[in-house]
Homo-oligomer: A and B are copies of this chain.
Amino acid sequence: MFKDNKEPVKISELGEFKLIEHLTQNIKLNHDSSKIGIGDDAAVLFHGDKDTVVSTDMLVEGVHFDMVFTPLKHLGYKAVVVNLSDIYAMNATPTQITVSLAISSKYSANAIEEIYEGMMLAAKKYNIDIVGGDTTSSFSGLVISITAIGEIEKDKAVLRSGAKENDLIVLSGDVGGAYVGLTVLQEEKAVWKVNPNSQPDFSGKDYILGRQLKPEARKDIVELLKKLEVKPNAMIDVSDGLSSEIKHICKQSNVGCNIYEEKIPIDPLTYNTAREYELDPTMCALNGGEDYELLFTIAQSDYDKIKGNPNLTVIGHITPKESGTNLVTTGGSVTPLKAQGWDGFAGKEE
């Protein structure tokens, strides 16, 4: 217990994951209807002939978004999408959300309305209902907290803990774009701060800016997997960075992995812009986060069903736990994956 320490434990030194692990280690589930609690993308509740899936996410001004370059409507849209992504990561269908907002006096009602418009746009696109919420004032920035609720056939939720040795590791879409997009926005903001008359140059960067400012959840992948009759053994969404997410799956499934650097799907614009900003594209892809792609493992016998699908890339395979979680570089060397993740407490952002 931290309270037994003589010195206060700094959250920045501990890190977000360790703090959460520590805080939640003593939480036990007592209800028969609580099937899966903390530690997956969403909780799984059983309230009848289907399972209910619940997930919650908080976006904080200055930590998760910068009002200088975030359009309010996009912010509302993104706040919904990142929550739905967690429901899809259970292989479930989101059906409802609740929305809580804390708003400082610097925001007008018009501004809040724009955020709501973005949320309602996302609700329409993903066919979910906004069923409740709480709106309150804040003495500082804006905080958006959303809880998403979804449903899935009884006992069919795909957990992080189901990966099996020799499973293939599959990723939807491409990664690293959201992080490189954020870098572009932050650099242009820095230029603008020095010279407020400068015009930001975003030409040709639409794709990666969109990945950062208006991401989408991979509803289509969940539908595709159903159509292909592929049920993943384990699944997670890529919010904190590919490396961190793979390690979550391996830890909770008690297995290891090999990820092949050359297989990681990176969009050419992401790659070239990373180079332009003197960033290592592979590091952006592994640790950037906020891509909201789905990462999952499947039995090798399912490979033929997904082979050649442009939305899906096999990036590695599951190994015995003793082998560890490794990156096989393009040069052929094997190096342990580091889960730098996207850790607000470490002040990686800005």
Contacts and interface: CB of A to CB of B under 8 A. Distances in A.
Grouping DSSP codes into helix (H, G, I), strand (E, B) and loop, the A interface class, with mixed when no group exceeds half, is mixed
A54 B134 CA distance: 12
A136 B11 contact: no
A3 B118 CA distance: 14
Interface in A127-145: 127-141, 143, 145
Contacts of A113: 1-3, 22-23
Contact of A137 (B20, B63, B95, B135): B63
Contacts of A47: 47-48, 50, 52, 151
Interface string A1-34: 1110100111110101001101110111111011
Nearest to A349: B137
Given A2-B113, A8-B111, A62-B139, 7 more contacts: A11-B112, A14-B109, A20-B135, A30-B128, A31-B127, A43-B96, A58-B134
Given A10-B109, A23-B113, A113-B1, A48 B49 contact: yes
Give the one of A31, A45, A114, A131 with max B CB within 10 A.
A131
A147 interface: yes
Shortest 10 CB-CB contacts between residues of A and residues of B: A48-B48, A140-B140, A43-B131, A8-B108, A145-B145, A137-B344, A9-B109, A147-B147, A2-B110, A62-B139
Interface stretch (A98-106, A304-312, A315-323, A328-336): A98-106
A223 interface: no
Interface string A48-62: 111010111110111
Given A9-B108, A120-B26, A56 B98 contact: yes
Contacts of A96: 31, 33-34, 43, 45, 54
Total identical chains: 2
Given A34-B95, A49-B49, A63 B149 contact: no
Contact of A136 (B16, B95, B139): B16
A38 interface: yes
Nearest to A42: B132
A113 B149 CA distance: 27
A62 B141 CA distance: 12
A268 to B, nearest CB: 32
A337 to B, nearest CB: 23
